[in-house]
């Protein structure tokens, strides 16, 4: 917060209005569970995704909150589909499990890997794109300098903070964010929170 405030007056105003940053990594569950949950939740409302994930955890995880790669690979497609998962998500979950079981995605080592190496390993999995990989870096691994330039909320928040007439594209957001590093994750969080203030009439 101090570094961003000193470097960027417009971000400094956003920090003052939003208040202290509460961005913390999510340490509950396993990294595999975090990624499996991300796949299940894609393009679904929170309530529907939670229901489907609950079935998935109960039926495939044996009642635990974290179905393992081995248990997914031991389940047939009909069983996985019976949890409410689409064919595309079943294939993505199976591919995720295969990547982990075969060592192509070393989740036990991701804490020691560079950001770009983690992203490269994750986007090789079916159904995991760059945005999902960046959210994993931010919200699971707690990496401080992630800039999700394709995230609509970050783009809208930056538009509000920097008084832009139009929504910034990736190139413009990179330029705006030149003073955010090495704390781009924190600045991105403030972009999201700025939208909360706007919605509440507090901007």
Start-to-end Cα distance in the chain: 19
3 state SS for 84-99 = CCCHHHHHHHHHHHHH
Using CA atoms, how far apart are residues 73 and 100, in angstroms rounded to an integer? Answer: 11
Indicate which residue of 151, 169, 171, 199 is catalytic. Answer: 151
Residue position matching structure tokens 């971000």:
11
Q: How many CB atoms lie within 10 A of CB 40?
A: 23
- Counts of helices then strands in the chain (DSSP H, E): 12, 0
DSSP state of 179: G
- 76 given a catalytic annotation: no
Query: Catalytic residue positions?
Result: 151
């Amino acid at each position: 917060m101090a570094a961003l405030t000193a470097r960027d007056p417009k971000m400094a105003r956003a920090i003052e209005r939003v208040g202290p940053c509460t961005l913390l990594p999510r340490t509950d569950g396993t990294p595999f569970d975090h990624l499996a949950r991300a796949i299940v939740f894609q393009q679904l409302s929170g309530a529907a995704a939670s229901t489907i994930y609950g079935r998935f955890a109960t039926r495939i995880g044996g009642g635990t909150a974290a179905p393992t790669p081995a248990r997914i690979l031991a389940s047939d497609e009909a069983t996985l589909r019976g949890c409410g998962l689409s064919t595309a998500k079943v294939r993505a979950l199976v591919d995720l499990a295969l990547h982990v079981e075969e060592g192509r995605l070393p989740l036990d080592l991701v804490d020691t890997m560079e950001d770009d190496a983690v992203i490269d390993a994750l986007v090789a999995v079916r159904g995991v794109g760059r945005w999902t990989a960046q959210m994993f870096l931010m919200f699971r691994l707690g990496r401080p300098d992630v800039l999700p330039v394709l995230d609509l909320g970050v783009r809208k928040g930056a538009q509000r903070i920097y008084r832009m007439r139009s929504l910034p594209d990736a190139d413009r957001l990179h330029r705006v964010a030149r003073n955010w590093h090495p704390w781009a994750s924190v600045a991105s969080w403030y972009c999201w929170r700025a939208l909360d203030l706007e919605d509440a009439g507090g901007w």
